[in-house]
C-alpha cells in the first residue's frame, strides 16, 4: 500500500513553498468586477495528469465564475503538482481558493461533498463511466474526458443516468468549438455538396508517439510509494505494475482504453456523426480489418480500416495512416456528395469548388450550435442555464459507440450489424458479449 501523506502537512508545506501572503485580495471577495465565491460554480477535479492539470484545471481556472474546491488523483506527486500549479493558473492569485482546496486520492470523497457543484473527470478511460454515473446520482454536473465510457454498455448507462438525474453533461472534445469543423458540417447539412454519400476520417497508426510506435517489452516492478496502484486499476482486472501500463500509454491496452480508435476517434468521428446528422443514432453495419502487435504489453491495433454503413445509405471509412497525416494536423474529415466534396482539418476547410467553399448559410437554414469560447465555457454556461451542451451525453454516447463497435468488429475480425434502437448487435452472441465487461470487486456500475 502506498504511503499516505497527511493533508495538513501537504497544505502547510505547499503554502510555505509559495510564501503565501496573509492579505486576501479584494478580487477574491468579488470586488473589482470579479465574481464572488458564492456565485461561482464549485468544481472538483478527478484525475490530474497532463490533460487533467495542464488543460482542464488551467482552462477552468481562467474562467472568473469557476471555483476549484477539490483535487483528486491516486498519484500523490501529481496531486501536489496540480495544487501548486493552481497559483500559476489563476488570472490573479486567489489565496483563499488555494488554501481551502481539498485534496484526496479517493474520488468518492469529492462527489460526497455538498459544496461541489460539478466534477471534471480526467482519469483513464476505464474509470470514466463509473465516476460519471456516480456523480450524476449524487446530484453533480459532469465534465468528462472522451470517451465517456470504456464499453458500449457503459456509454448507455452514462447517458441514461444523466437524463434520469437531470445532470448537465459535457464531453471534453474541443472539435465542436472549432470554426472550420462547424463550417464543414453546416455546408454538408445544408446540402451544398448535394446528397451526402460517403465520409472519410483518418487517424494515426501505431501507438500515438514515435517512442512507443513498437509494442514495448516490459517486466513487473514495484509501484512508486506515493502511487495507489490498486485504486488506479479500480474496476479493471488485477495486473502487475509497470510504468507502461499507466500514465498516457494505458490507452493502448484494452483493459483500460481502446487504442487510437477511442483516443482520436471520439474527436473526428464525432464530427463525421455531426455532419451526417446522426447524433441520435449510429451505423447499422460495421466491417473492420486490423493488424495487431504480436508481442509486448500493448494489444490494440497498430493499423486498422473500418467501414460503416448507415440506414440513410451513407458509408463512412475510418482508417489509420502514417506521418503524412501530419500535414492535416493529425485529424481529417472528408464529406463526399453527388455534387462535390468538403474536407476539414487543422488547416482549414477545402471544397471541390469555390462556390461550395464560399457559400453563405442563410438565416433560415441550419445553423449548428456553437460556443467559440470552447467546451469549458459552454459547460459553465449550461450549468447556470440548465441547458444542453453541444457535447452532451447522448451525442457523445452515439459517437463513441461508433468507436467501440469498431473495436468489437476488429476483435472478432468480421462484419457486425448493430440495432441502434435496441442498442445491441443483431443475432450475434459473440459481439453482444463484448458490449460490456465484468468489473473487478468491489466496483459496480
Residue 132 is predicted with a pLDDT of: 98
Contact status, residue 329 vs residue 347, Cβ threshold 8 Å? yes
Number of neighbouring beta carbons within 10 Å of residue 225: 11
For residues 421 and 317, state if they share a domain.
yes
Residue 34 is predicted with a pLDDT of: 57
Taking the C-alpha atoms of residue 132 and residue 400, their distance in angstroms, rounded to an integer, is 15
320 strand-pairing partners: 203
For residues 196 and 138, state if they share a domain.
no
For residues 311 and 323, state if they share a domain.
yes
For residues 276 and 310, state if they share a domain.
yes
Quick check: is 255 in a domain? Answer: yes
Q: Comparing C-alpha atoms, which of 157, 160, 132 is closest to residue 145? A: 132
Residue 3 is predicted with a pLDDT of: 32
Residue 13 is predicted with a pLDDT of: 37
Quick check: is 163 in a domain? Answer: yes
Q: Which distant-in-sequence residues (6+ apart) come within 8 Å of 137 by Cβ?
A: 161, 165
For residues 112 and 219, state if they share a domain.
no
Let me know how long the chain is. Answer: 445
Quick check: is 205 in a domain? Answer: yes
Start-end of H helices in 193-264: 229-233, 260-263
For 50, the grid coordinates are: 497532463
Quick check: is 63 in a domain? Answer: yes
Q: Which distant-in-sequence residues (6+ apart) come within 8 Å of 307 by Cβ?
A: 286, 287, 288, 315, 316, 317
For residues 92 and 190, state if they share a domain.
no
For residues 147 and 211, state if they share a domain.
no
Triad 189, 192, 193: Cα angle to 5°:
95
For 424, the grid coordinates are: 445491441
Distances (CA, A) of 410 to 401, 414, 416: 14, 7, 10
Triad 174, 179, 185: Cα angle to 5°:
95
The dihedral over CA atoms of 312, 204, 170, 256, expressed in degrees to the nearest 10, equals 110
Quick check: is 328 in a domain? Answer: yes
Quick check: is 164 in a domain? Answer: yes
The CATH number of the domain holding residue 33 is 3.40.50.720
For residues 98 and 26, state if they share a domain.
yes
For residues 154 and 181, state if they share a domain.
no
Residue 272 is predicted with a pLDDT of: 97
Taking the C-alpha atoms of residue 45 and residue 25, their distance in angstroms, rounded to an integer, is 24
Taking the C-alpha atoms of residue 427 and residue 198, their distance in angstroms, rounded to an integer, is 27
Taking the C-alpha atoms of residue 172 and residue 175, their distance in angstroms, rounded to an integer, is 9
For residues 201 and 152, state if they share a domain.
no
For residues 243 and 180, state if they share a domain.
yes
The pLDDT profile of the chain, 445 residues, written as one tens digit per residue, is 333 333 333 333 333 333 333 333 344 444 445 566 668 999 999 999 999 999 999 999 999 999 999 999 999 999 999 999 998 887 776 666 666 799 999 999 999 999 999 999 999 999 999 999 999 999 999 999 999 999 999 999 999 999 999 999 999 988 999 999 999 999 999 999 999 999 999 998 888 655 555 556 678 899 999 999 999 999 999 999 998 899 888 999 999 999 999 999 999 999 999 999 999 999 999 999 999 988 888 999 999 999 999 999 999 999 999 888 888 888 899 999 999 999 999 999 999 999 999 999 999 999 998 788 899 999 999 999 999 998 899 999 999 999 999 999 999 999 999 999 999 999 999 999 999 999 999 999 9
Taking the C-alpha atoms of residue 301 and residue 293, their distance in angstroms, rounded to an integer, is 7
Residue 362 is predicted with a pLDDT of: 97
SS3 of residue 45 by DSSP: strand
Among 175, 210, 227, give the residue marking a domain's end. 175
Q: What is the pTM of this model?
A: 0.89
The CATH number of the domain holding residue 275 is 3.30.360.10
Among 120, 141, 175, give the residue marking a domain's end. 175
What is the rounded end-to-end Cα distance, in angstroms, of the chain? 25
Positive/negative CA dihedral, 149, 42, 107, 224: positive
Taking the C-alpha atoms of residue 375 and residue 173, their distance in angstroms, rounded to an integer, is 7
Number of neighbouring beta carbons within 10 Å of residue 246: 20
Number of neighbouring beta carbons within 10 Å of residue 325: 18
State the DSSP code for 340. Answer: E
Q: Comparing C-alpha atoms, which of 348, 341, 367 is closest to residue 194? A: 341
Residue 38 is predicted with a pLDDT of: 66
| Burial 420-443, CB ≥16 within 10 A → b, else e | beebebeebeebbebbbbebeeee
Quick check: is 386 in a domain? Answer: no
Number of neighbouring beta carbons within 10 Å of residue 178: 19
Tally of structural domains, the chain: 2
For residues 171 and 182, state if they share a domain.
no
Residue 23 is predicted with a pLDDT of: 36
Contact status, residue 440 vs residue 238, Cβ threshold 8 Å? yes
Taking the C-alpha atoms of residue 173 and residue 21, their distance in angstroms, rounded to an integer, is 38
User: Which domain, by its residues, includes 359?
Assistant: 176-370+393-433
Among 135, 159, 175, give the residue marking a domain's end. 175
For 73, the grid coordinates are: 488523483
Quick check: is 243 in a domain? Answer: yes
Contact status, residue 315 vs residue 224, Cβ threshold 8 Å? no
Amino acid at each position: 500500500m502506498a504511503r499516505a501523506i497527511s493533508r495538513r502537512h501537504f497544505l502547510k508545506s505547499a503554502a510555505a513553498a509559495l510564501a503565501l501572503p496573509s492579505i486576501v485580495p479584494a478580487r477574491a471577495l468579488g470586488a473589482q468586477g470579479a465574481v464572488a465565491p458564492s456565485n461561482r460554480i464549485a468544481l472538483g477535479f478527478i484525475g490530474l495528469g497532463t490533460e487533467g492539470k495542464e488543460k482542464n484545471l488551467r482552462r477552468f481556472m481562467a474562467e472568473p465564475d469557476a471555483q476549484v474546491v477539490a483535487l483528486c488523483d491516486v498519484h500523490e506527486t501529481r496531486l501536489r503538482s496540480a495544487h501548486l500549479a493552481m497559483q500559476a493558473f489563476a488570472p490573479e492569485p486567489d489565496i483563499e481558493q488555494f488554501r481551502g482546496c481539498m485534496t484526496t486520492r479517493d474520488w468518492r470523497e469529492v462527489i460526497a461533498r455538498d459544496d461541489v457543484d460539478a466534477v471534471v473527470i480526467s482519469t483513464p478511460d476505464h474509470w470514466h463511466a463509473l465516476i460519471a454515473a456516480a456523480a450524476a446520482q449524487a446530484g453533480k454536473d459532469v465534465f468528462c474526458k472522451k470517451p465517456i465510457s470504456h464499453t458500449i454498455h457503459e456509454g448507455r448507462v452514462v447517458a441514461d443516468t444523466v437524463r434520469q438525474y437531470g445532470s448537465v453533461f459535457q464531453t471534453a472534445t474541443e472539435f465542436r468549438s472549432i470554426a472550420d469543423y462547424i463550417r464543414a458540417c453546416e455546408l454538408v447539412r445544408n446540402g451544398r455538396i448535394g446528397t451526402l454519400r460517403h465520409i472519410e476520417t483518418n487517424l494515426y497508426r501505431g501507438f500515438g508517439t514515435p517512442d512507443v510506435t513498437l509494442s514495448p517489452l516490459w517486466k513487473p516492478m514495484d509501484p512508486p510509494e506515493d502511487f495507489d496502484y490498486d485504486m488506479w486499476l479500480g474496476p479493471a482486472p488485477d495486473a502487475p505494475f509497470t510504468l507502461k501500463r499507466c500514465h498516457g500509454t494505458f490507452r493502448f491496452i484494452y483493459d483500460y482504453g481502446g487504442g487510437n480508435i477511442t483516443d482520436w476517434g471520439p474527436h473526428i468521428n464525432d464530427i463525421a456523426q455531426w455532419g451526417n446528422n446522426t447524433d441520435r443514432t449510429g451505423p447499422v453495419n460495421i466491417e473492420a480489418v486490423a493488424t495487431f502487435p504480436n508481442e509486448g504489453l500493448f494489444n490494440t491495433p497498430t493499423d486498422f480500416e473500418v467501414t460503416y454503413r448507415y440506414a440513410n445509405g451513407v458509408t463512412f471509412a475510418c482508417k489509420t495512416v502514417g506521418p503524412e497525416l501530419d500535414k492535416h494536423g493529425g485529424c481529417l474529415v472528408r464529406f463526399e456528395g453527388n455534387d462535390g466534396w468538403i474536407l476539414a482539418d487543422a488547416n482549414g476547410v477545402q471544397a471541390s469548388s469555390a462556390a461550395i467553399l464560399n457559400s453563405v448559410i442563410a438565416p433560415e437554414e441550419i445553423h449548428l450550435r456553437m460556443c467559440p469560447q470552447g467546451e469549458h465555457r459552454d459547460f459553465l454556461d449550461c450549468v447556470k442555464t440548465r441547458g444542453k451542451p453541444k457535447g452532451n451525453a447522448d451525442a457523445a454516447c452515439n459517437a463513441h459507440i461508433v468507436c467501440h463497435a469498431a473495436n468489437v468488429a476488429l476483435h472478432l475480425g468480421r462484419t457486425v450489424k448493430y440495432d441502434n434502437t435496441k442498442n445491441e448487435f443483431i443475432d450475434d452472441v459473440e459481439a453482444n458479449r463484448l458490449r460490456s465487461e465484468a468489473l473487478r470487486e468491489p466496483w459496480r456500475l
